[in-house]
Amino acid sequence: MPLNDWANGVIGGTPLSADRLNERDSMLADSLVQLARNPDALFSGSVVRDSNGAATSAQVEWPDGVAGTYSGTASVTWPGAINSYTITRVGTPTLTFTQPMVTRNSDGAITTRPAITVT
């Protein structure tokens, strides 16, 4: 998920190349996906919870101060648990990280967690 598609050329008189910038963007994107795997760590301010305590919406702040929003879909079968969610990172472009619905076993433990998608 590159943030930009850098082209080679003189970039401010520095030895930066398109390859180096694209690699940096790729590493940043990978880091953002890892952060999105644990949205609770990004919550900033009040968190809206349903009657079972599942966090269904919140404002988030990414480590670099960028704002975003979180929206979770609570489990009906496992009260208090979240089965899927989206979390945004405002900017140009605004990124949306989506955790598709997880699969749980009879004890409520997650048995399948699909990869987070980024749009």
> Which band of pLDDT confidence, cut at 50, 70 and 90, is reported for residue 85?
very high
User: What is the token pair recorded at 40?
Assistant: 């609770």
**Percent of the residues in the chain that have a pLDDT greater than 90, as a whole number:** 67
Return the ∠ at Cα 35 (arms to 88 and 83), rounded to 5°: 70
Residue 33 contacts residue 54 (beta carbons within 8 Å): no
Tell me which residue of 55, 27, 51 sits closest to 39, measured CA to CA. 55
Q: Which residues constitute the domain of residue 113? A: 42-118
Reported as a single tens digit per residue, the pLDDT across 20-78 is 555 555 567 778 888 999 999 999 999 999 999 999 999 999 998 999 999 999 999 99
Q: How many domains does the chain have?
A: 1
- Structural domain contains residue 20: no
- Structural domain contains residue 87: yes
- Structural domain contains residue 29: no
**pTM > 0.75: yes or no:** yes
Side chain identity at residue 59, one-letter code: Q
User: What is the token pair recorded at 43?
Assistant: 């919550």
- With residues binned 3-state (H G I as helix, E B as strand, rest as coil), the percentages for the chain, rounded to 5, are 20, 35, 45
- Structural domain contains residue 27: no
